[in-house]
Amino acid sequence: MDRSRRPIEIPYLINKPAVIFIDVGRQLFVDDFLIEKTSLNKVYHLAEKINQNPIFKPETKIELNQGNIPVAAPFNDGLWYDSKQKLFKLWYHAGWFSGTGYATSNDGINWKRPELDVVKGTNLVLKIRDGYRRDGSTIWLDHETTDEQSRFKMFLFNRFPEGQDGELYNSRDGIHWDLLGNTSELGDNSGFFYNPFRKKWVFSIRSYWQDQRVRSYYESDEFYSASQWENKAKTEQKPVFWLKVDSLDVANPIIKDPTQFYDADVVAYESIMLGLFGIHRGPNNQIAEFGGFPKITDMSLGYSRDGFHFSRPDRRSFIGSTLKIGDWDRGYIHAVGGGCLVVGDKLYFYYSAWSGISPKLKNDMYAGGSMGLAILRRDGFVSLNADEEWGTLITRPVIFNGDYMFVNVDSKEGELQVEILNEDYEPFKPFLRESCKIISVDSTIQEVNWERVKDLGALKGKKVRFKFYLKKGSLYSFWVTPDKLGASYGFVAAGGPGLIGNKDTKGKRAYKVQVK
């Protein structure tokens, strides 16, 4: 990878494949991978913070930290929907550099701290060890494992007088954890994720280049071995330079410090790998510590179709710091392990933030850590829009084996129609525009139908192009599926109510589960 501040080139966007297979997941317009040509306007959308924030804040004795540095927030950690128990489950940083807490919720907004048997009278899932100061962590709910004892996986970074290390754990229930061993050497704010497209466990490793924070990458078929790069034979692959900021990551106009790549949480969502990236905008630790305010990291998004190269077309903060004195989310925004959850027709993005407010101290850069929620329309990262005039979009050649076509569209004030073409842009009869039933709805799962056509079975395995005609509306995604109720069989990040495991096998069935 190029270590300069030039933007990283994305190979699959430079040399696009001749045909794209679309059997897995909703097809998103987060880049131009699927688009041959269009007259529609591309718009990038940001998550919207809810008014109830923060929805989780320091309350217990450990979290309040005797009034010094109160924290009750994921330091990445993890927030998942466990479809077996039908519960939202949260693991978080309880008290600065203290414990790992556990909470549950029925709706993802109101949380309970169960009393557990790990540390009597608390909701801690790991005992606090003398001399150890817990730092960042990642927790993963592994839906694909056949070993129930390793259904939950944890990476934990510790500091202690003699140095620092990373530990790996697994668990049957997410409460009682067994130590697997230590990782190879890495820095704080490292983490891991699973790429289900390639069946690889990946460590996202905090590294440095010219005193700037960057990321390195190491993968393996097995969770534990993904953390053991120093124990491999010299002939085997070592961690490689991976993610960095570039010339498009502009400095905060108030702080004016050069940006750095602080951390990276990655998860599979529908047909892509979604990256939630922490972009550090300063100031440095010494200045923040002296001033008693949090440093500024904002959440930015990246999108990948190979799991390694990430396109970052919108450099705005997807969820950002307010920089306002007294705000609970003044700075130090962190994504939460698991990325986001699918809740009906919404995506829930949980995030941690710090106020810097300490009841006892003058204030502290790491005080006042709490968790909030921001919401986005399902698939709502990017829309292709049309106003009063008709606009069109033609896809590159695609192949599918499904029977039914669905779209995520807001055309309640306008119209959407779809035509299916061959490779040479000639219409396939009877999938003509004039035969397509007009769609004038706002729906995240809407079937496309043609007159006198039962399904798309006649086009299975053929190279086709979709041509969308849109007026006064926004198109977010499309997909073809064998399921009449629209299951995409794509990945659903950290899951959600009505879904089973890490894939959308339910379609409209999942929408019947209402979360208020």
Query: Tens digit of pLDDT for each residue in 453-491?
Result: 999 999 999 999 999 999 999 999 999 999 999 999 999
- pLDDT value at 99 more than 90: yes
Are 419 and 432 in contact, with CB atoms under 8 Å apart? yes
| Closest alpha carbon to 95 in 128, 51, 47 | 128
Amino acid 233: pLDDT: 58
Please give the average per-residue pLDDT across 291-309, as a whole number.
97
Q: Which domains does the chain have, with CATH numbers?
A: 11-45+382-511 (2.60.120.260), 58-182 (2.115.10.20)
CA distances from 200 to 7, 147, 192, 233 (A): 26, 17, 11, 19
Q: What percent of the chain has pLDDT over 70?
A: 98
Lowest mean pLDDT among 48-52, 250-254, 266-270: 250-254
Q: What is the pLDDT of residue 515?
A: 45
pLDDT in tens, 323-356: 999 999 999 999 999 999 999 999 999 999 999 9
For 467, half-sphere exposure in the C-beta direction (CA atoms, 13 angstrom radius) is 18
Q: Where are the alpha helices (DSSP H) in 247-347?
A: 285-291
Indicate if the pLDDT at residue 179 is higher than 60.
yes
pLDDT over threshold 60, residue 516: no
User: How would residue 172 be classed by pLDDT, with cut points 50, 70 and 90?
Assistant: very high
pLDDT at 299: 97
Q: What is the pLDDT of residue 237?
A: 76
Residue 234: pLDDT over 70 = no
So what's the pLDDT on residue 232?
64
* Spatial separation of the C-alpha atoms in residues 496 and 106, rounded to whole Å: 11
**Residue 54 in contact with residue 70, Cβ under 8 Å?**
no
Residue 210 has a pLDDT of: 84
Per-residue pLDDT tens over the stretch 369-406: 999 999 999 999 999 999 999 999 999 999 999 999 99
* Token pair belonging to 267: 């998860």
Please check whether residue 300 is in contact with residue 312, taking contact to mean a CB–CB distance below 8 angstroms: yes
What's the rounded mean pLDDT across residues 148-152? 96
Return the closest-CA partner of residue 272 out of 171, 119, 382: 382
Do 51 and 377 touch, CB atoms closer than 8 A?
A: no
What pLDDT sits at residue 127? Answer: 96
pLDDT at 281 over 90: yes
In whole angstroms, give the CA distance from residue 32 to residue 248.
19
User: With 70 as the cut, is the pLDDT of residue 202 above it?
Assistant: yes
Tell me the mean pLDDT in the region 172-199: 97
Asked if residue 242 has pLDDT above 90, the reply is yes
- pTM, two decimals, is 0.97
Bridge partner residues of 9 (DSSP): none
pLDDT at 1 over 80: no
